[in-house]
Amino acid sequence: MIDLDDPLINGYLRRLIGEDGITLIRNMPEGEVTDEEICNVLNPLKSASKEADDKVKKLKAEIKAAGESQADVKKLEKDLKKAEKEAEKAKAEAVGEYEITLNTVRKILFILYENKFTICRRERDANSGWLTFRWQINMDGIDYQIEREKKKLYRNLLKRKEYEDNNVFYVCPQNCLRLVFDEATETDFICPICGEDLVFEDNELFKQLLDTRIAEFGDMPR
Ligand SMILES: [Zn+2]
């Protein structure tokens, strides 16, 4: 399994599928599962509440069907009272549980599928003809994706460093904006937003920071 706390992997996945997506991968059940099963795992309290509600409904139906037999009905009614109490309790416990909806789960699975991070098997129910999708996470391709991300980040850092090296900057003391020399001359060195005089910015420290970050990439090819 991949290390979801690795900053590069975590950052890449967060941009791709968000925090909910990372939670999904972290809690994905073993083997092939349906989107609804995943959703239940991600919302344990809400899922327990739903289950308790279903039990109440089932008992009510059984009471209706029990008909004449008074003894059966008495027992079922007792069970129903208990089930209703439990359903109420489960409902109260589920209030405020952070929810990842079925819709969100489907969206995440779709994005993962697009990026070849899931395997999906379709199964047709012989009786109903209904299609069920069974999902499995497969993050084998992530190393390749991360390597691509790293190269992109590295290229961006090099580009930024070149830009910082080749320009002189002026900034507004109120932090409205940052202009290169040519732009600053066009505004007569006055901030076009607030009217303050622009001041020269020494970007030496920022450039050093960029150098440090670039050095972290070691001997990556440009
Ligand atoms: Zn300003």
Question: For 59-79, what is each residue's pLDDT tens digit?
Answer: 999 998 887 777 788 889 999
Residue 194 Cα to ligand 1 middle (Å): 4
Question: For 108-155, what is each residue's pLDDT tens digit?
Answer: 999 999 999 999 999 998 888 899 999 999 999 899 988 988 899 899
As a whole-number percent, the residues of the chain with pLDDT over 90 amount to 79
Q: Where does the pLDDT of residue 49 fall: very low under 50, low under 70, confident under 90, or very high at 90 and above?
A: very high
Q: Up-side HSE of residue 73: CA atoms within 13 Å toward CB?
A: 8
CB-proximal residues (5 Å) to ion ligand 1: 172, 174, 176, 191, 193-194, 196
Average pLDDT over every residue of 188-211: 97
Is it the case that residue 16 has pLDDT exceeding 90?
yes
122: three-class secondary structure by DSSP: strand
| pLDDT at position 53 | 96
**Alpha-carbon span 79 to 73, nearest angstrom:** 10
| pLDDT at position 125 | 86
Residue 105 Cα to ligand 1 middle (Å): 44
98: three-class secondary structure by DSSP: coil
Average pLDDT over every residue of 3-30: 94
**Alpha-carbon span 183 to 196, nearest angstrom:** 15
Mean of pLDDT over the chain: 93
Average pLDDT over every residue of 1-12: 88
Residue 190 Cα to ligand 1 middle (Å): 8
Nearest to 210 by CA among 160, 141, 173, 146: 160
| pLDDT at position 70 | 78
DSSP string, 30-61: SS-B-HHHHHHHHSHHHHHHHHHHHHHHHHHH
Residue 200 Cα to ligand 1 middle (Å): 13
Average pLDDT over every residue of 173-197: 97
Q: Where does the pLDDT of residue 222 fall: very low under 50, low under 70, confident under 90, or very high at 90 and above?
A: low
**Alpha-carbon span 28 to 34, nearest angstrom:** 11
Query: In whole angstroms, how far apart are CA 17 and each of 26, 30, 158, 164, 171?
Result: 13, 20, 27, 33, 36
Higher local confidence (pLDDT), 179 or 67: 179
**Domains of the chain, start order:** 7-142 (1.10.10.10), 165-215 (no CATH)
Residue 180 Cα to ligand 1 middle (Å): 15
Residue 161 Cα to ligand 1 middle (Å): 25
| 96: phi then psi, degrees, rounded to nearest 5 | 85, -5
